[in-house]
Amino acid sequence: MLSYTHSIYNYRRRKTVDVKFGIIGLGGLNPIRVESMTTTDTMDTKATVEQCRQLYEAKCEIIRITAPSIKSAENLKDIRDALRNDGIQTPLVADIHFTPNAAMKAVEYVENVRINPGNYADRKKFDTHDYTDSEYEAELERIHKEFKPLVMKAKEYGVSMRIGTNHGSLSDRIVNRYGDTPLGMVESALEFARICEEYGYYDILFSMKSSNVRVMIEAYRLLVAKADKELKNAYPLHLGVTEAGDGEEGRVKSAMGIGALLEDGLGDTIRVSLTEHPVNEVPIGYAIVKKYNDRLLVQGDRAFEPINHLITSAGNNGEELMPYDPYDFRRRESIKVNAGEIGIGGNEVQRVELEVEEPGNRAEILRDAVIAAAKPFLGDVIRSEVTNVKVASVEEYEQVRKSLEEKNASPALSVSTADIALAKSLVGKAEKIRIDIKEGEMLDKDFLQGLSGSSLIEFSFVKENASGRAVADVLVRIAKKCQDAGMQNVIFSIQAKEIVFAYRHLAMLFKEAGIDYPILIRFDGTHLLDKETVLVEGSVQAGTLFCDGIGDMLAFRANCTYNEELSLAYNILQASRLRLSKTEFISCPYCGRTL
């Protein structure tokens, strides 16, 4: 299998060539940059300059301006001059669609030109045509002839270029040969990149945009795998989920798609595409890249990994097995287990669990908290399907259950404890029992005795200093003992601040051992200081795993209200396209239209 990252089990940023971008550099050893795009009419110089000024004041590092015609491209000169006269040196990008002549003019006034291979030299007519090899080559020659002048002029002016493919605007020629697929997106971009390299023009970067987060992730991964093998250089990447929307949904979708790639070390500049004022895109952009740029400050060039020399290696840093296909989404196969009437794993949708913090010795307070967490929110679908409580004894649990029954409430309850004796005494009473396993803990060799029954047993490793591999090793050993004991109603999870690599280890070792128990993704954001960081980290950590096909349930915990936690949890599942709980509107960031 082609390699797209040095390892899926630990972080190392992909090292690329350093591309000129006016006063800043892109790729190389530079930090990950934050970009936005104006929404004004480019012919309205005053309004566009004012919006650029607002973006500059918001610390936006790259500003993109659409140039849909030659006249608008010519007006970029007035916009640029007004900004430079005000002392604003922020690099400008001209966004080009359909009009090569506009690109030829825009290159004189900006630091970067973005072209879309799907409509620069081709048109989408939705024609079906099986191209012969000779016909296809003739089309490539035509594209070469149309694209070469821009390459030569950009090289002459010292202007860089983004080759930006959009999933929704692939040419008929590409779709007929490769389909409306990530591979089609990649080949569309590589055709143009090869022309650039033929003329010694290397100031290029790529983007693979889609409103479907999973398609976007797969396309970027496949691009890196193929481009770094076939091209002369490793080129920077601009990341973004196109038409992400607004509000929490748009931010979750963007953080998930962008963050999943950043976790793999991919990405050199980002844009969060919101149907809001472009200034609003900047702070959430910085929130997404902060963790990765902080690593650069601490580690320097040790945070990077050159890709080209790894192409001939195994590509996964010596690990035994890839737990998933990074270029083709497939949900990890698992057996179905049950928490009361709630089915988990197998063909069931991904379930949601919340945790209430009220003490178990205050039954009525805990009861009200459970009812609040399990109460449907925004319709009947969005609710906590399993609610986790903490009790110190069977008596406390029974008091809580009795108190719930008095209110005619019968939610599925999960009890968390590190006391295996208490766990055994709750078997058959609670729908689910979570047993927390801590580092350095010694488990009795007969610890499984007494755990078989109607309750779903969750073995959850509390990770602090142990490596992800060590955590996975422990859970695999427990899983094998469960198999040997004939236990079916079992699920596994990990508790940690950073969960992606540990869960990937777990999925890999489960696959290697032939273990098909479900996996519960636990996100704990209680250590995070604000809701925006919770949103970003929850979307990145849990979303990355769900987009990898790992996870049958999401347990979400943060310092938020229950409704806020539920909203985030279901938006994460919605963005990963695993569980659609509401109508999804795809919004164009430029015109605001929705589909």
pLDDT, one tens digit per residue, over 163-172 is: 999 998 898 8
Ranges of beta strands (E only) in 266-350 are 269-271, 304-306, 336-339, 342-345
pLDDT tens for each residue of 170-204: 988 899 899 999 999 999 999 999 999 999 999 99
Instruction: Express each pLDDT in 324-336 by its tens digit.
Output: 999 999 999 999 9
Is the pLDDT at 127 greater than 70? The verdict is no
Q: What is the pLDDT of residue 115?
A: 96
Q: Which of 273, 211, 215, 208 is nearest to 236 (CA)?
A: 208
Residue at 583 is within a domain: no
Mark whether 201 and 248 lie in a shared domain: yes
Are both 278 and 382 inside the same structural domain? no
Using the predicted structure, report yes or no on whether residue 130 has a pLDDT greater than 90. no
Q: Are residues 377 and 278 in the same domain?
A: no
Kindly list the distances between the CA atom of residue 593 and the CA atoms of 72, 96, 200, 266, in Å, as whole numbers in the listed order. Answer: 22, 20, 40, 30
Same domain, 306 and 341: no
Does some domain include residue 592? no
Please give the DSSP secondary-structure letter assigned to residue 10.
S
- DSSP letter at 301 equals G
**Does 8 reside within a domain?**
no
Question: At CB < 8 A and 24+ separation, what contacts does 566-569 make?
Answer: 566/352, 566/354, 566/373, 566/377, 566/382, 566/383, 566/384, 567/248, 567/377, 567/378, 567/382, 568/248, 568/252, 568/534, 568/535, 568/538, 568/539, 569/352, 569/354, 569/538
Which long-range contacts link 309-313 to residues 24+ away (Cβ below 8 Å)? 310/3, 310/6, 311/3, 311/228, 311/229, 313/3
351 plus 304 within the same structural domain: no
Please report the pLDDT score of residue 302 as a whole number. Answer: 60
Contact at 8 Å (CB) between 314 and 559? no
Residues 303 and 383 occupy one common structural domain? no
In angstroms, rounded to a whole number, what is the distance separating the alpha carbons of residues 4 and 221? Answer: 6
Residues 519 and 438 in one domain: yes
536, exposed or middle or buried, with CB in 10 Å at 0-12, 13-18, 19+?
A: buried
Q: In terms of pLDDT, which residue wins out, 392 or 363?
A: 392
* Share of residues in the chain with pLDDT > 90 (%): 76
Could you give the count of Cα atoms lying within 13 Å of 518 in the half-sphere of its Cβ?
Answer: 28
pLDDT tens by residue, 511-565: 999 999 999 999 999 999 899 999 999 999 999 999 999 999 999 999 998 889 9
Torsion of CA 38, 43, 44, 46, to 10 degrees: 80
Encode pLDDT of 290-322 as tens digits.
999 998 876 666 656 554 433 333 334 444 578
pLDDT (mean) for 481-506: 97
Q: In degrees rounded to 5, what are phi and psi of residue 561? A: -70, 160
Average pLDDT over residues 134-158: 95
- Domain count of the chain? 2
DSSP letters of 112-125? Answer: EEEE-HHHHS----
Six token digits for residue 525: 């954001």
Q: Could you tell me if 287 and 391 lie in one domain?
A: no
Which H or E run includes 543? helix 531-547
Token pair listed for 588: 């164009």
Asked whether the predicted pLDDT for residue 218 surpasses 70, the reply is: yes
Question: pTM for the whole thing?
Answer: 0.92
HEC assignment per residue over 456-497: EEEEEEECCCCCHHHHHHHHHHHHHHHHHCCCCCEEEEEECC
Is 522 inside a domain boundary? yes
* Residue 76 exposure: Cα atoms within 13 Å on the Cβ side: 30
Domain of residue 301, residue span: 13-310
Position with higher pLDDT, 444 vs 571:
571
pLDDT score at 129: 75
Residue 406 predicted with pLDDT over 50: yes
| 532 in the same domain as 425 | yes
Is residue 587 situated within a structural domain?
no
Residue 319 lies in a domain: no
Residue with tokens 């709630």: 342
Q: Do residue 418 and residue 552 come from a single domain?
A: yes
Cα–Cα nearest to 186, from 232, 225, 214: 225
438/475 same-domain check: yes
Mean pLDDT of 496-506: 96
In the structure, what pLDDT confidence band is assigned to residue 374 with cuts at 50, 70 and 90? Answer: confident
Tokens of 35: 């970009």
Please state whether beta strands 342-345 and 336-339 pair in parallel, antiparallel, or not at all (unpaired).
Answer: antiparallel
- CA–CA distance, 127 with 117 (Å, rounded to integer): 17
Is residue 328 situated within a structural domain?
no
- Long-range residue pairs from 290-296, CB within 8 A, at least 24 positions apart, any chain: 292/13, 292/32, 292/262, 292/267, 293/31, 293/32, 295/11, 295/13, 296/13, 296/29, 296/31
The CB density around residue 247, as the number of other CB atoms within 10 Å, is: 12
CATH number at residue 424: 3.20.20.20
The one-character DSSP state at 590 is T
Q: Is residue 302 domain-shared with residue 345, that is, in the same domain?
A: no
